[in-house]
Amino acid sequence: MSKQRIVVVGNGMVGHKFIDNLLQDPKADQFDIVTFSEEPRLAYDRVQLSSYFSGATADDLMLTSEGYYRDNGVNFVLNEKVTELDTANNQVVTSSGRVESYDKLVLATGSFPFVPPIPGNDQEHCLVYRTIEDLEAISASAAQSKIGVVVGGGLLGLEAANALKAAGLETHVVEFAPRLMAVQLDEGGGKLLRRKIEELGVNVHTEKATKEIVAGENCRYRMNFADGSHLETDMILFSAGIRPQDELARQFGLEIGERGGIVVNDSCQTNVDNVYAIGECALWSGRIYGLVAPGYTMAKVAVSHITGGDEQFRGADMSTKLKLLGVDVASIGDAHGNTPGAQSYTYNDEIEQVYKRLIVSADGKKVVGAVLVGDVDAYGNLLQLMLNDMDLPGNPAGLILPAGDGEAAMGLGVDALPDTAQICSCYDVTKGMIKEAVASGCTDMGAIKGATKASTGCGGCAALTKQVLDAELSNLGYEVKNDICEHFAYSRKELADIVRVKKIKTFDELLDSHGKGLGCDVCKPAAASILASFWNEYVLEDNLVGLQDTNDVFLGNMQKDGTYSIVPRVAGGEITPDKLIVLGEVAKEYNLYTKITGGQRIDLFGAQLHELPVIWKKLVDAGFETGHAYGKSVRTVKSCVGSTWCRYGVDDSVGFAIEIEDRYKGLRSPHKLKFAVSGCTRECAEAQSKDVGVIATENGWNLYVCGNGGMRPRHADLLATDLDAETLIKYVDRFLMFYIRTADRLQRTSVWLENLEGGLAYLKDVVINDKLGLAAELEAEMEANIANYQCEWKTTVESPEKLKRFRHFINSDATDSNLAYVVEREQRRPAFKEERIAAVELAD
C-alpha cells in the first residue's frame, strides 16, 4: 500500500504538535509528512517569547530541530507561504510556485495580532508581538527608545509589557477596558494586579481609547486619547488580541465563521472531509481557542481521526494559571460569576497583597469559577473540583483562606482525587482505570498491575496506586488489609513494633514466630530495613544478605544492564579539589560514565561486580565513605554556600548541613530521606521540597518537614521556628525515629504525614510537646543507631570473606559477555538493542 501524503500548512506550536503526535503513532510509517512555514525557522515556544528579553535566544525557544524532522523523514520547507488551495484536486500551491498534492491537508496557520484601526498605527516604531522576527524588531527599536507603550492590558499585553520592561524601557500599558485582564479577572483581582504591577514600575492607564498617533514633542510619538489626555512615547506595541489566520481557507472556499475562523467539527475536519484545521485558526462550536493547550488537544484529535481513531474535540477549559511580570495570577471557569444565581466567597488581604474569590453555584455545592491573584496555591484543588463537578467540602471558605497556625491547608486526600487524575505517568493510568480494575475483581497490587500496568514502569507510583486500591476496596465494602505480603498478616508498622518490643534480631526468627512460607522480595527487604533501623548492624552479615535487594547487597545501584553505579558521600556538597581529582581519576581508570546528581554529589556509572571492591578501595583510601545511594536511607543534605561566602547568607548552612549529614548518614528508613539546609530565606538549597528542610533566619533555624520533589511534589510544612542547633537536632531525631517506627513500607514522609491522623498538629504534639511521652525513647534509639554507624564499604573492602561475593562467576574469572557500550558525548553508555550487534562486533 502506498503511503498517505499529509501536508501541514504552518509549523507553529500546534502544527508541530500534530506532526510529533503523528510520528509517535504506531501507524506513523503509513504516512509521508510535508510541512510549510512562512517563518524562517521551525516551531518555537511562543508562550515563552518574553524570555527572549531576559537572555533566552531563538535557539532556546525551539521546540524541535531540522535534524529531528530529517531523522524522522518529515519534509519541511521554510520561508514558504502556501498561497493557493485546490480542494477539488487535493493540491496546494506555495509562494514560490511549488505544487504539492495531498491525501490529507492540515491547516495550522495560527493567528495574527489585531492592530486597532488608529490613524498613525503604521509607523516605523509601531510593532506587534507574535514571532521571533517581531522580537528582533522590538529589540532594535527598544535600543533607540526610552519609553515604550503596550496597547492592550490582557494576558498577551502584560507579557509584552514584561518584554519592554526587561529591555530597560519606561513601560506603560494602555487599556480600553476599566481593568487589566478583563476577560480572566474580576474587579477585585484586576485591581490588585494593577497595584502590584504599578509597584513594579509599570504605568497602567485604563479606560483609554487611542484616537491617533502623531509626532511627539519630547518623544518620537504622541498618543492622543479620546478623553483629551495624551501620552508621549518612543515606541508602541500593539497587543490588543488575536485574529484567526484564515485567509487561505477563506479565499479558496472553506467554510468560515461570521467573525472569522475556519469552521471545524468534533474531529477537527473542515467542511471538506480531508481538510483539517487545528489551533488558533480553527472555529469550533462558535469559539476560537487562543491558548496552546486546546490547540494541542485538537492536534491529538486530528491525528486520531487520520489514523482511524475516534477521539473527539469537546471544547476546552480555559482556566489558566500564570506569572505575569512576576505576579501569580489564576483564573478558573466563570471568573465573573455570570452563572445565574452564583454566589461567592472573597478573601482580600491588602497587607500581603493576596486576592482570592471563589464563585459557587446557586445551591452552594459546586465550584463554578475562581480568581486568584498573589497566591495561586489553591488553583489545583479548585480546578479539579470544578472540572470533575465534585461537591464542595463542608466549609468552602477554607479552600481560599490561609491555613491557621498549626493546621494544614485544606487539601484533598486520595479519595477526593477525581477519576481523571493520572496516577501512573509511565503508562498513563488514571484513578478511574484503577477503580474499574478493582470493580472487576482486582483486589491486590499484583492484579492491579496485571490489569492496568500501573506502577510497572518506573514503579514510582506504587504507593499512590496502593492507596487508590485500598480506598476503593474500602469504598466497596472490602476489609482492607494492610498486610505487607502473603507471608505476614501485619503492616510494616506492626512488624516494626514486633521487632522492637520482642527484640527480634533475624528474619528467620520473625518468620518462624509471626509469618509463614519462605518470605519474598517484599517482606524480606522490609524486615531488613526494620532490623537495620533498630539494631543497625552491618548489612552484609550472612543472615542479612539474602534479605536485601541487590543494591544493598552489593552496595551500589543496579543499572539496566546489570552493572552498578557508585556514589560516594559528599556531605553538604562540599568537596576539596583533591577529592574531586580522585573521583575523576577513578572514573577515568575504570571508564565510568560520570554525572552530577541532584543531591550535589557525583554518580559514577557502569562498574561491574568485580570492579566494585577495587574502585571502592581507592575511594576509601582517599577518604571517601559510602553515600548510601543504594539504600532506603538518608541520602544527602543539600546546602547553599551560606554565610561563609554569600553576601546574603544569614548563617553557615554548609557547616550545619555537614553536621546533619554526618549525624544521620546510614540511617535505614521506610524510604529514602533527603535533607537540605539554606543559609537564608532566599532558599537556594530548596529545603522546602525535602523530607527535612532547614532554613536560617535572623533568630535561629526554621525546621520544615515532609516536603517532596519528584513525581508528586509537596511543599514541606513548617514544624518549628527560630531554633538553636541543639534543639533542632533533638526535634529531627524524634521526627525521624517516629517516622521510621510508624510509616508503611516505601512511604515517603510526605505521604506518611498526609495519612497521619491529626496531621501536622499531631506531629507537632509528638515531636515538640512530647504528647506520647516517647521523646526520650526516640532520642535514645537515634543515639544507639548513630553509635553503630559504620561505612559499609570500608568494612567490606577490609574483609576478604565479604569480597568473595563480588565476582560475576563463582567458577570463572570471566566477566559478563552480554555487556555492550557505545560512546555518546565523549562518554560510554549501554548500547540500545539496535546498536548492540554492531557494538559487539566492534569489540571483537
Partner 1 sequence: MSNWTTICKETDLTPDTGLCALLDGEQVAVFYSKKTGELYAVSNFDPIGEANVLSRGIIGSIGEAVVVASPLYKQHFDLKTGACLEEPEHTLKVYPVRLEAGEVQLQPA
Tell me how far apart the alpha carbons of residues 570 and 317 are, in angstroms, rounded to a whole number.
47
Give the range of 236-244, 373-381, 420-428, 807-815 binding partner 1 by CB under 8 A. 807-815
Q: Which of residues 485-514 bind partner 1 (CB under 8 A)?
A: 486-487, 508
Compare residues 265 and 456 and give the one whose CB is closer to partner 1. Answer: 456
Residue 8, phi then psi, degrees to nearest 5 = -110, 115
Residue 391, phi then psi, degrees to nearest 5 = -70, 145
Give the range of 96-104, 190-198, 253-261, 540-548 binding partner 1 by CB under 8 A. 540-548
Told to check if 801 binds partner 1 by CB under 8 A, we report: no
Told to check if 645 binds partner 1 by CB under 8 A, we report: no
What letters, b where the CB count within 10 A reaches 16 and e where it falls short, cover 202-218?
Answer: bebebebebbebeebee
Give the range of 53-61, 294-302, 391-399, 803-811 binding partner 1 by CB under 8 A. 803-811
Told to check if 561 binds partner 1 by CB under 8 A, we report: yes
Please identify which residue in the block is written with the cell numbers 512530647: 770
Told to check if 659 binds partner 1 by CB under 8 A, we report: no
Told to check if 668 binds partner 1 by CB under 8 A, we report: no
Tell me how far apart the alpha carbons of residues 403 and 813 are, in angstroms, rounded to a whole number.
63
Told to check if 39 binds partner 1 by CB under 8 A, we report: no
Told to check if 546 binds partner 1 by CB under 8 A, we report: yes
Give the range of 49-57, 493-501, 516-524, 566-574 binding partner 1 by CB under 8 A. 516-524
Query: In the set 143, 810, 824, 841, which binds partner 1 (CB under 8 A)?
Result: 810
Give the list of residues 6+ apart from residue 609 with CB closer than 8 angstroms, or none.
554, 564, 806, 807, 808
**Distance between terminal CA atoms of the chain?**
41
Question: CA distances (Å), 389 to each of 33, 368, 380, in order?
Answer: 40, 9, 14
Told to check if 832 binds partner 1 by CB under 8 A, we report: no
343 within 8 A of 359, measured Cβ to Cβ: yes
Compare residues 40 and 450 and give the one whose CB is closer to partner 1. Answer: 450
Query: In the set 89, 395, 576, 812, which binds partner 1 (CB under 8 A)?
Result: 812
Query: In the set 350, 542, 578, 844, which binds partner 1 (CB under 8 A)?
Result: 542
Query: In the set 402, 406, 446, 709, which binds partner 1 (CB under 8 A)?
Result: 446
Compare residues 72 and 456 and give the one whose CB is closer to partner 1. Answer: 456
- Give the count of beta carbons closer than 10 Å to the beta carbon of residue 649: 20
Told to check if 802 binds partner 1 by CB under 8 A, we report: no
Told to check if 558 binds partner 1 by CB under 8 A, we report: yes
Compare residues 49 and 504 and give the one whose CB is closer to partner 1. Answer: 504
Give the list of residues 6+ apart from residue 103 with CB closer than 8 angstroms, or none.
4, 5, 6, 90, 274
Give the range of 271-279, 308-316, 431-439, 445-453 binding partner 1 by CB under 8 A. 445-453
Compare residues 395 and 818 and give the one whose CB is closer to partner 1. Answer: 818
Query: In the set 811, 823, 825, 834, which binds partner 1 (CB under 8 A)?
Result: 811
CB of 558 to partner 1, least distance (A): 6
Give me the long-range contacts of 49-52 (CB less than 8 A, separation at least 24): 49/129, 49/132, 49/135, 49/159, 49/163, 50/159, 50/160, 50/162, 50/163, 50/166, 52/132, 52/135, 52/139, 52/163
Told to check if 521 binds partner 1 by CB under 8 A, we report: yes
Compare residues 32 and 508 and give the one whose CB is closer to partner 1. Answer: 508
Q: How many residues bind partner 1 (CB under 8 A)?
A: 41
684 within 8 A of 665, measured Cβ to Cβ: no
Compare residues 560 and 647 and give the one whose CB is closer to partner 1. Answer: 560
Give the range of 194-202, 548-556, 617-625, 688-696 binding partner 1 by CB under 8 A. 548-556
What letters, b where the CB count within 10 A reaches 16 and e where it falls short, cover 408-439?
Answer: ebbebebebbbeebebbeebebbbebbbebbe
Give the three cell numbers for residue 162. 514584561
Told to check if 339 binds partner 1 by CB under 8 A, we report: no
Compare residues 539 and 706 and give the one whose CB is closer to partner 1. Answer: 539
429 within 8 A of 452, measured Cβ to Cβ: yes
Told to check if 795 binds partner 1 by CB under 8 A, we report: no
Told to check if 88 binds partner 1 by CB under 8 A, we report: no
**Pairing outcome for strands 821-824 and 827-830:** antiparallel
CB of 525 to partner 1, least distance (A): 7
Give the range of 46-54, 288-296, 344-352, 559-567 binding partner 1 by CB under 8 A. 559-567
Lay out the site mask for partner 1 across 450-479 (x = CB under 8 A, - = otherwise). Answer: x-----x--x--------------------
597 within 8 A of 653, measured Cβ to Cβ: no
Assign 307 to helix, strand or coil.
coil
Query: In the set 321, 794, 805, 828, which binds partner 1 (CB under 8 A)?
Result: 805
CB of 548 to partner 1, least distance (A): 8
Q: Which of 416, 414, 417, 465 is nearest to 442 (CA)?
A: 465
Told to check if 445 binds partner 1 by CB under 8 A, we report: no
Tell me how far apart the alpha carbons of residues 91 and 103 are, in angstroms, rounded to a whole number.
9
Tell me how far apart the alpha carbons of residues 471 and 465 are, in angstroms, rounded to a whole number.
10
Q: Which of 181, 442, 500 is nearest to 330 (CA)?
A: 181
Q: What angle do CA 336, 338, 344 make, to 5 degrees?
A: 65
Told to check if 541 binds partner 1 by CB under 8 A, we report: no
631 within 8 A of 597, measured Cβ to Cβ: no
Q: What angle do CA 180, 184, 185 make, to 5 degrees?
A: 60
Lay out the site mask for partner 1 across 393-432 (x = CB under 8 A, - = otherwise). Answer: ----------------------------------------
CB of 697 to partner 1, least distance (A): 45
Compare residues 268 and 553 and give the one whose CB is closer to partner 1. Answer: 553
DSSP secondary structure code for residue 115 in this structure: -
Query: In the set 266, 549, 683, 835, which binds partner 1 (CB under 8 A)?
Result: 549
Told to check if 605 binds partner 1 by CB under 8 A, we report: no
Tell me how far apart the alpha carbons of residues 333 and 169 are, in angstroms, rounded to a whole number.
35
Told to check if 838 binds partner 1 by CB under 8 A, we report: no
Query: In the set 148, 290, 337, 519, which binds partner 1 (CB under 8 A)?
Result: 519
Please identify which residue in the block is written with the cell numbers 515538640: 768
Give the three cell numbers for residue 588. 577515568
CB of 544 to partner 1, least distance (A): 10
Give the three cell numbers for residue 501. 518490643
Told to check if 671 binds partner 1 by CB under 8 A, we report: no
Query: In the set 128, 213, 386, 553, which binds partner 1 (CB under 8 A)?
Result: 553
Compare residues 143 and 810 and give the one whose CB is closer to partner 1. Answer: 810
In this structure, the dihedral spanned by the alpha carbons of residues 84, 86, 92 and 98, taken in order and rounded to 10 degrees, is -80
Residues of the shown chain interacting with partner 1 in the complex, contacts defined by CB under 8 A: 446, 449-450, 456, 459, 486-487, 508, 517-521, 523-525, 542, 545-551, 553-554, 558, 560-562, 804-805, 808-812, 814, 816, 818, 833
